[in-house]
Amino acid sequence: MPQGEADLGICQWFHYHDYETVERAVGYLRELGIRHLRTGVSWADFYRPHGPQWYDWVFEQLAEFELLISVWHTPPSIGEAPLCTAPPQRLDEYTDVIGRIIDRYGHAFEHLELWNEPNNLYKWDFRRFDPHWRKFAQMIAPAAAYAQQRGKVTVLGGMSPIDPAWVALMQRHGALDAIDVVAMHSFPHMWWDDAPCWDQPDNWRGWADKVRRVTPVVGNRRIWISESGLATWDLHRSCRSRHALQVRMLDQAAAAPVERVYWYSLIDLDPAREAIEGFHVDENEYHLGLVRHEGTRKDAYWRMQQLLRDRRQRRSRGDSSSLGVSKMVASNESRKTTDHDEIRKWVESREGRPARVLGTGGVDDPGLLRIDMPDEPTGEENLEPITWDDFFEKFERENLAMVYQEETKEGQTSRFSKLVRR
């Protein structure tokens, strides 16, 4: 169990072609001071005719954040049934799409989450298609191994409910062989008497208890909370409420004895949209954000901002009580720099070179900058080498920094890098 404070992040999903919400989210994330963002690539949306182009734009907007990318939602056209919760007819197609996503966007993320809540019927219909999760394990195991080979930190999609027996089953099925992090979800105090949901009062004894129960079955893997939240809605009175409780639940999640916590979510779900359970079937789904859909910031928004500010101040002072987690991952953790010499030395020591994306930019503007590494796929981007002078002129004009990694977790030389906003 790690000692010290958890890194705090936000989880926010983006619907297909919802450009406005992405742009709003970036503004709120900057205001909060968020570094870690968990979001998804819907496998089903990626298979749409213009799906890859949509995600090209999304990744460009999110370039300044450290991303945990969750890949799930089976395309109905290839499922055992025409449902996003069904297994694909060919389980190896999941590894194929993971490969395509890494090829195209691997420069933009380091952490990859394989599915989301696979022990939740709304995300993986195990009752109908996979009662013992064998298909799930057979689908996930090779995808995780492939992602590890490509230098990604692999995360097993957050279980909900938190069930050590389910983790042990995944271990027996071989699904954890190439998993670095086991994620879990829980929404304490998200229950009501006549329609129980998530963790019930008689089962909830705090985050430390959940971690203690899961630790024996995860081996030496890290544990993250990749979703926790609380809706600001009173189901009995059918009105907005529980804002103070949302703050309290955020505080409790932030104090959990894990390496990382993602709060769900940033912006309330648009009331005109259908939630995963259906259109307003569960009104809680429409009030989980730190910001109301119309833009009002809730009390927990300001509390999140304060928690992040306090963590930055303690770590800048070198307060040992806040550094336990960071010290655990020093050699293969990403670093951020704006130093030209440091960037050039790192790139050239790996035989890389500065480059631009063809078809972007204009007169006296190289366009989108990239680091071109030998033998590393660039997806569908066509790159053209440029001089370091041109690279750094645009680098400074756009107020960029470079996030990079010296070594992989196996101790090998890493070629992971990413250009972000300062």
For every residue of 225-251, DSSP letters joined together read: EEEE---SEETTTTEE--HHHHHHHHH
Closest residue by Cα to residue 402 from 388, 383, 385, 381:
388
CA distance 78 to 402: 39
Biggest CA-to-CA distance, the chain: 66
pLDDT above 60 for 257: yes
CA–CA distances in Å: residue 310 to residues 7, 155, 200, 297 = 12, 27, 32, 20
Contact 44, 74 (CB under 8 A): yes
pLDDT single digits (tens) 146-194:
999 999 999 999 999 899 999 999 999 999 999 999 999 999 888 665 5
Which pair of tokens denotes residue 408? 């992989």
CA distance 342 to 352: 13
* 322 band by pLDDT with thresholds 50, 70 and 90: very low
Closest residue by Cα to residue 231 from 287, 278, 187:
287
Mean pLDDT of 110-132: 96
CA distance 21 to 67: 17
Strands 400-404 and 335-337: antiparallel
pLDDT given for residue 200 in this prediction: 61
Q: Note every long-range contact of 50-54, with CB atoms under 8 Å and residues 24 or more positions apart, other chains counting.
A: 51/16, 52/104, 52/380, 54/16, 54/17
How long a stretch of residues is the chain? 422
CA distance 231 to 265: 9
Residues 6+ apart with CB under 8 A from 184: 158, 159, 160, 162, 210, 214, 223, 224, 225, 226
pLDDT given for residue 1 in this prediction: 40
CA distance 381 to 304: 37
Q: What percent of the chain has pLDDT over 70?
A: 90
Mean pLDDT of 122-143: 97
Buried residues in 252-288 as b, exposed as e (16+ CB within 10 A): bbbebbbbbbbbbbbbbbeeeeebbeeeeebebbbbb
Comparing 176-185, 214-223, 272-281, which segment has the lowest mean pLDDT?
A: 272-281
pLDDT above 80 for 376: no
Comparing 38-52, 133-147, 162-176, 202-216, which segment has the lowest mean pLDDT?
A: 202-216
